[in-house]
Structure formats: structure tokens, C-alpha cells
Chain A
Amino acid sequence: MEMQTVKFYQTGTFTVGNRLLDENERSVQANMERTNSLNSGHRACQGCGEALGARYAIDAAMRVTGDKLIAVNATGCLEVFSTPYPETSWQIPWIHSLFGNAAAVASGVAAAMRVTGRSDVRVVAQGGDGGTTDIGFGCLSGMFERNDDVLYICYDNEAYMNTGVQRSSATPPAARTATTMAVGKEPGNVFGTGKNVPLIAMAHHIPYVATASVANLRDLEFKVTRAMNVHGARYVHIHVPCPLGWGSAPADTIKVARMAVESGLFPLFEAEHGEVTGRTRIRHKVPVTEYLKLQKRFAHLFGKTPDQERLDQIQAIADKNIRTFGLIDTELAHG
């Protein structure tokens, strides 16, 4: 019989293989020795994707650096829910300065480590999409351009959540926020706006850029690990559903995140020195409606008569992503 390549994948769950793997290949969170850098007891909402993403990302970075890590945090939900005085959830050295300067503060920390002979200590900066793609964008681009030894992590929940769900430049088209109300001729956020910071990061030709999602935590850990094994400016952009801002059920956070990936709306890829070097293929392509339907911020697209025109436009965005990043394994799809 002719040799045939067979691809295996599990359905239903993607926690693929922790038990089947060699112990040192298991996820950071599966390890009893994980650092719990962001400890329990913080004030995030139930089902907060940002809290989940941050815990996985920082613990992974801690493992790579042998616990020699300093974190710089922009103002935003993550900062507020983790440090209500006199408590802190952070088990690592952590500093919050301002909303728009996390990347620059991190550059300063990294430089201080070099001049004081502590180059083994590494630095992570982290912020929400607002702190990254809007107000902190100047400092971020400066840090990239100087190729400072900083990993910047953006937790993208697609709006200014901490101040009550206002639009940011990462808010997707049609999404209802407090400043893009679901009223008028074009309800929700207008089409044709916003910016793609992972691509802009790539344009700086920095050593490593990746997108990740809390739908795929093993992949998230892997990417943070890769990023921390490289020196210079690095950027990881993590898609983190926000039940409060998106109007999704807290129990559905992972599902919502997965639908974003599987529909093609949030492509998972890696890039080195400005070139895409890897992408996560979509296993079961779902229509964007599967993703949108789970969230009240898109409720106005459905109602009695679905707004087919806008739904088609959103589907077109997903399809374009799939084409641009090669998200569907054509061989598999046709076979």
C-alpha cells in the first residue's frame, strides 16, 4: 500500500497532549513549580481574558529567565485589578508609571540592568490595546526602533475597558462601545478604521513579532518562550476577550477567543525580522457569525432582520486574513 500522510488532531478540546508529552515539554501552567507571578485574589471580572493571558504569559517568561524578570505595566484593567492598595497580586518586581509610557519605562529598566551588571535580568512591558496602539504608540515605536531588549505584550480586548468600554484603534468594525454606540445609520464602530500593530511592529524589522490568543494557551506560552529566548525588541499581541466589554458569557471566554481564531478574524502568526515565518492553520473554519453571535456588542447586526451587508463585510475581512496569512492548509482542505 502506498505511504499516506495522516494528520491527527483532537476535536472538542485543544489541550492536546499534555499528558502524552514528556514532562519537560508540558505547558508551564501544568508544572507544579510554575511561579504564579500574577497570584489569585485580584479583582478582575469573572472570565477575564486579560487576567488569563497575563498569567500564562508572565509565568512562561519567568520560566525562560529563571525567575529573573521585571515587569512594567501600563495603566489599564490589568494594572488596576492587580494592585489595589495595599494589596498586590504580583509576585515579581513590577512597576506601573503611566498609561502611555510602558515601553519607554521598560527601555530604562533594561538599560539600567546593563549598566549595573545585571544583564541576566530581563524585562517585559505590558499594556492593553489602548495603552499600546493609541496613547503608548510613540513610546512603543521608539522602543522598537532602538531595538531595546524588551518584550512588549499587548493584551488586546479591543477597547478601553478600564474606563468603561470606549473605542480604541483596535476596536473592530461594527462593534458597539460606549463611544461607538449601536445607533444611527452605521451602528457601532465604523468600517475602514483602526490599525494593525503587529504588522506595524514587523515594519520595524524587530527580531520577533507574534500574535497569540487565550484560545490556544500552549501556543501563547510557546510564543512568549520563543520571544524571551531572543534579545532585542520583541512584540507579542494577545487576543483576550473581555466578558464585560464584549457582552459575552464569562464561561465563554475561551470559546469566543477560539471563534475569533477559527473564523480568521484574529490570525495567529509569527514573524522574524519583518518576515512572517509561521502561522497557525485554521482547523475548522467557522463563519464569522459564530464569533459575532456570542457577543452583545454585535447584537445590532442580528436582531429580527440580520444586517447582511455588514456581516458580509466582516466575513470578507476574515477571508482576506485567511488568504493573506495562508491560514487554511489547502492540502488538508481539499483532501
Chain B
Amino acid sequence: MLKQVEGSHAVAEAIALSRPQIICAYPITPQTHIVEGVGEMVKDGTLKNCEFINVESEFAALSVAIGASAAGARTYTATSSQGLLFMAEAVYNAAGLGLPIVMTIGNRAIGAPINIWNDHSDSMSMRDAGWIQLFAETNQEALDLHIQAFRLAEELSCPVMVCMDGFILTHAYDRVDVPSQEEVDAFLPPFEPRQILDPSAPVTIGAMVGPEAFTEVRYLAHHKQLRALTLIPQLSAEFEQRFGRASGGLIREYCTEGAETIVVSLGSINGTVQEVVDDMRADGAKIGSVSICSFRPFPLTALRDALQNAKRVVVLEKCLAVGLGGIVSDGVRKSLSGIQLKGYTVIAGLGGRAITRGSLRQLFEDAAADELEQVTFLDLNADVVAYELERESQARRTGPTAEAILKRLGTVSSKIG
């Protein structure tokens, strides 16, 4: 059924259609509307056979989820930013125990300085925790990916994070096609756990493992993710066949045929990138783009196939490996091992900084002319940076950097443009 709803609401509907049995969460912007949505459906009886548990922290939220999942219940939670970091220990634990929990991340920057707006730092901080990480491009895809996520998680016995851009998707009203319960039931069978806490067949879960077997346990976790490289496209194809639209998969190519410059990015920014590609193509530029949906497992082969004939790759990232540069770029480079082509990293959209078509067009043109630095910070205000560096070189007690910059800019922090 077509509906014009907020992204969070669309996701809440997808969760409800997936028949979770335990939902537990702790509020943090911009995840709140999703859990409020499902919470209401549990309370008013729309979502049956499900308990919604209000907990005292994100650490508890995921811990409750761990217990519920190990005891055989289909389990869901959601968080963002500081919340994801607060649950970090449990994030690794859920994956280590092989529990098929599904968690939405409403992507948001990490402080300090505290910032509620969108970037991908939060999900990226947990990229090696053992969760599958899928990035949604649109609200429709966010909805669809959640339904796929439960199936994927349960087939592999591995937790899945569905990442969607905070505000840009979570708070945007858009048209979505909400499938029927029958359609979802046909795609997503009831949860059949691989391991379960059950007095009639007692098992010990979470035993201490020493050097004699730790490597094997970790290898099997890696192997699981490698299997997902096959399973993710299969599920996406089956989903398309049943629901009549393409969603998910490892990567999506746009105008890559004959492209000399290919832009790689994750999430909602792909919409803007594609518009700029269209504009530049219309003017004769040989440019295309690739959207990475599955960041973990990282689709090395699919990317190599998509990128190897280009002359240059621009990786546009909403995250920063401080002291190194790109995070996504690392994987992209690995996928191109042995192939000679130019690679540029562009850090953009941090803490909600708007990524405009104008800036992107300029950027891509500079890239096409190979006039880009290895690492570029899109729309960096060089004056402010130079002023602050100068100030810090002049005196010892220069105070907190963020405040000094805001004072200089004379703007309030809610201005995101």
C-alpha cells in the first residue's frame, strides 16, 4: 500500500510486519521516532505477541536483546551515535555469540563536540564488531532492508545493523510502498534459532575460550560474513521477485558503463550524487557512481568489477579516520589491489554539513581534471581553520576550540547549511 509517511514511521511499519517478539530501546535523536512508532503499535495491540521494554541505557537495551535472542525470541533494537558507543561492548558480544538481532542505526555524528546531525561516524565505529551493516539510500529501501535484515540475520545467525541517515531519511516524509502482512510472512518465516536456552536441552552459551580455539571461533565469524556476500544478493533478488522492486544487494551501479570517473558513496547522498552525474553526463562528462549497500561484509569483488575500467575513483565519505583520512576508501583501495587508477578521498557532510549539488559538481570536475588532493574536506572553511591555528600558535591557554570557532563564525550551532 502506498503511503506518504515519515522515514521512521516507514521503518516502524517494516519492523511490525517482521513480527518481532521483543523490542527494547533507549531514546536518542534521531532514532526516537522509530521506537516510539513500534512502541505504540505494541501498546495499542496492533503488534501482537511482542513486548516493548523501556530500559535505562543503550547498554541495557542491547543486553536485554542478547538475553531475549538467546532465549529464542525475534529481537529488535535501535540507536544512534553516543547510544551506539554506550552499547559498544554488547555490540561485539551479540556478534560473538552469533545472535540474530536486528538494530537500526539512525546515523548521527559522535561528540565531542556534541552534535545531533547526520554523518556515518557511529556505524563506522562498529564496522569490525562482526555485525552485517547495510546502508539504505531511501526511505523505501530502509523499509525493505529491515524485512531482509531479519531473514539474513536468522539464516546466518548473525546480527544485522540497518543504517539510515539521521534526519535526512529518519525525519523526511516520503512516499513508500508498505507491503502486506501476507507478503512479508511469505518472505520471512518464523524464527528458528540455531542455539537456544531451553531447560529440556541445556547448553552453555558464552563459555570462556582460550588460545586453543579462539582463532577458529573468529575465523567462523569471518566465514559467516563471507557467506553473506552470496546471500545478500540472493535475498535482494528474491525480494525483488516477490515485492516487485529492487532493494538491497551488495552495491548498485549508476552510469558506470564507460565512465572514467566513478564516485563511490554510502546512503542517502547517492540521490544527490546521481543528480550531479546526470547533469555532468548531459554535458558530456564520462562519470558514473556506485552506491555501497553492504559495508559489512565489504563487497571487494563486486566493487572491483564495477570500478576496474575507470580512470579514477572518488570516494565520498561521511566519516573520518582521524589521522588517516578515509574509512570507506581503505576498502575501495583494497578492492582495486594491483590495478593502476587514481583514488581520491573526500570527507563530506560531517555533523550534518549540507552536501550541495554545486559543491559536488565542482568537486567531480576537479577530480576529472586530477586536480584534487589525496584527501579533501568538502567545503572546509579554510579561513576559520587558519585563524584558529594562528590563535593557538600565539598563546597557551586558548580555551576550547569548538567555542572559539563558533564565536568567530557568529552563528548558532543549529545552522547546518
Interface string of B109-152 (1 = CB under 8 A from A): 00000000000000000000000000000000000000000000
Contacts of B64-98 to chain A: CB distance below 8 A: 64-73, 75, 89-90, 93, 97
Which one of A92, A110, A139, A146 contacts B59 once the chains associate, using CB atoms below 8 Å?
A139
Residues 189-231 of chain B: 1 if any A CB is under 8 Å from the residue's CB, otherwise 0? 0000000011101111111111011000000000000000000
B63–A111 touching, CB < 8 Å: no
Closest to B64 in A: A108
Which residue of the partner chain, among A91, A96, A113, A115, contacts B202 with CB atoms under 8 Å? A91
Q: Give the residues in chain A near B54, CB-CB below 8 Å.
A: 146
Query: Residues of B contacting A111 with CB < 8 Å?
Result: 22, 51, 53, 64, 67-68, 73
What are the residues of chain B within 8 A of A205 when measuring CB–CB?
none
Query: Within 8 Å of chain A (Cβ to Cβ): is B355?
Result: no
Whether B202 contacts A93 by the Cβ 8 Å rule is yes
Within 8 Å CB of B264, what residues of A? none
Q: Which residues in B have their C-beta under 8 angstroms from that of A229?
A: none
Nearest residue, chain B, Cβ from A141? B56
| Most A CB within 10 A of own CB, among B21, B60, B68, B70 | B60
* A292 surroundings in chain B (CB, below 8 A): none
Given A86-B213, A142-B57, answer yes or no on A95-B72 (Cβ-Cβ < 8 Å). Answer: no
- Residues of B within 8 Å of A70, CB to CB, are 71, 197, 199
- Is A83 located at the chain interface by the 8 A CB criterion? yes
**59-115 of chain A: CB within 8 A of chain B:** 67-70, 72-73, 79-80, 83-86, 88, 90-98, 100-101, 104-115
Residue of B nearest to A143 (CB): B60
CB-based contact A94/B22 at 8 Å: no
Name the CB-closest residue of B to A71.
Answer: B197
Residues of B within 8 A of A114 (CB): 51
Contact A96 B68 (CB under 8 A): no
Residue in B21, B57, B70, B89 whose beta carbon sits within 8 Å of that of A116 in the complex: B21
- The reply to whether A115 and B73 contact each other, CB–CB distance below 8 Å, is yes
Q: Min CB distance, A316 to chain B, in Å?
A: 36
Whether, in the assembled complex, A145 has its beta carbon less than 8 Å from a beta carbon of chain B, the answer is yes
Q: Taking each of A69, A115, A146, which has the highest tally of chain B beta carbons within 10 Å of its own beta carbon?
A: A115
Q: Is B50 an interface residue (CB 8 A)?
A: yes
Q: Does A274 count as interface, using CB distance less than 8 angstroms?
A: no
Interface residue from A93, A104, A146 paired with B203 (Cβ < 8 Å)? A93
From residue A41, how far is it (CB to closest CB) to chain B in Å?
A: 13
Q: How far is the CA of A113 from the CA of B66 in the complex (A)?
A: 13
A187: Cβ under 8 A from any B Cβ: no
> Which one, A72, A73, A116, A121, contacts B73 given CB within 8 A?
A116
**Cβ of A97 and Cβ of B199 under 8 Å apart?**
no
Closest residue of chain A to B92 (Cβ to Cβ) is: A98
Say yes or no for A250: interface residue by CB 8 A criterion.
no
Q: Check B205 against A96 for contact (C-beta < 8 Å).
A: yes
Inter-chain contact A112/B22, CB cutoff 8 Å: yes
Which residues on the A side are within 8 Å of B56 (C-beta)? Answer: 138-139, 141-142, 145
B381 at the interface (CB under 8 A from A): no
B60–A85 contact, CB under 8 A? no
Q: A139 and B60: CB pair below 8 A? A: yes
* Cβ–Cβ contact A108 & B24, under 8 A: yes
Q: Is B71 touching A113 in the complex (CB atoms < 8 A)?
A: yes
The interface residues of chain B lying within 8 Å CB-to-CB of A92 are 199, 202
Option from A85, A95, A110, A142 in Cβ contact (under 8 Å) with B70: A95
Residue of B22, B69, B198, B202 with most chain A CB atoms under a 10 A cut-off: B202
Give the complex CA separation of A91 and B63 in angstroms: 23
Q: Which residue of A lies closest to B57 (CB)?
A: A138
User: Which residues on the A side are within 8 Å of B65 (C-beta)?
Assistant: 108
Shortest A89–chain B CB gap in Å is 9
Question: Is the C-beta of B55 less than 8 angstroms from some C-beta in chain A?
Answer: yes
Find out whether the CB atom of B53 lies under 8 angstroms from the CB atom of A146. yes
Report how far A35 CA is from B414 CA in the complex, Å.
62
Contact between chains at B66 and A93 (CB < 8 Å): no
Residue in B68, B205, B209, B210 whose beta carbon sits within 8 Å of that of A108 in the complex = B68
Interface centre among A72, A93, A106 (most CB of B within 10 A): A93
Give Cα A277 to B89, complex, Å: 39
Q: State whether A98 and B57 are in contact (beta carbons under 8 Å apart), knowing that A86-B213, A115-B22 are contacts in the complex.
A: no
| Residue among B63, B202, B206, B213 making CB contact with A104, cutoff 8 Å | B63
- Are A84 and B68 in contact (CB-based, < 8 A)? no
Q: Using Cβ atoms and an 8 Å threshold, which residues of chain A touch B60?
A: 101, 104, 107, 138-139, 142
Among residues of A, the one whose C-beta sits closest to the C-beta of B53 is A111
- Indicate the member of A112, A113, A146 with the most B CB atoms within 10 Å: A112
Q: How far is the CA of A72 from the CA of B71 in the complex (A)?
A: 11
B49 interface contact, C-beta 8 A: yes
Which B residues between 1 and 54 are near A, CB-CB below 8 angstroms? Answer: 21-22, 24, 49-51, 53-54
Q: A97-B90, A116-B72 are in contact. Are A108 and B204 (CB under 8 A)?
A: no
Q: How far is the CB of B334 from chain A (nearest CB, A)?
A: 32
* Candidate in A70, A86, A110, A111 with the most chain B CB atoms within 10 angstroms: A111
Q: Which residues of B contact A116 (CB under 8 A)?
A: 21, 71-73
Contacts of B204 in A (CB 8 A): 83, 88, 90, 94-95
| Distance in angstroms between the alpha carbons of A145 and B60 in the assembled complex | 13
Nearest CB of chain B from residue A300's CB, rounded to whole Å: 34
Chain B positions within 8 Å of A115 at CB level: 21-22, 49-51, 73
B53: which A residues are within 8 A, CB to CB?
Answer: 107-108, 111, 146
State whether A79 touches B208 (Cβ < 8 A). yes
Taking the nearest CB of chain A, how far is it from the CB of B73, in angstroms? 4
Bound complex: CA A104 to CA B26 (Å): 13
Instruction: Select one of B59, B97, B201, B210 contacting A138, CB under 8 A.
Output: B59
Taking CB atoms, residues of chain B closer than 8 Å to A121 are 199
Contact B63 A95 (CB under 8 A): no
- Which residue of A70, A80, A121, A142 has the most chain B CB atoms within 10 A of its CB atom? A142
Q: Which of A72, A98, A146 contacts B89 (CB 8 A)?
A: A98
Please tell me if the beta carbons of B63 and A98 are within 8 angstroms of each other in the complex: yes
Closest residue of A by beta carbon distance from B191 = A116
Judge whether A72 and B67 touch: CB under 8 Å. Answer: yes
Across the interface, do B199 and A104 meet the contact criterion of CB distance under 8 Å?
Answer: no
- Assembled-state Cα–Cα distance A75/B73 (Å): 24
In the complex, what distance in Å separates the CA atom of A333 from the CA atom of B72? Answer: 55
Distance from B317 Cβ to chain A, minimum over Cβ atoms (Å): 31
By a CB distance below 8 angstroms, the chain A residues around B66 are 97, 101, 105, 108
Chain B residues near A (Cβ < 8 Å): 21-22, 24, 49-51, 53-57, 59-60, 63-73, 75, 89-90, 93, 97, 197-199, 201-210, 212-213
Query: Knowing that A94-B197, A108-B69 are A-B contacts, what are 6 other residue pairs whose CB atoms are under 8 Å apart, sorted by A's residue number?
Result: A86-B207, A95-B67, A104-B60, A115-B50, A116-B72, A139-B57
CB pairs A–B below 8 angstroms (12 shown):
A67-B199, A68-B199, A70-B197, A84-B210, A88-B204, A88-B207, A93-B199, A93-B203, A97-B97, A108-B64, A111-B22, A111-B73
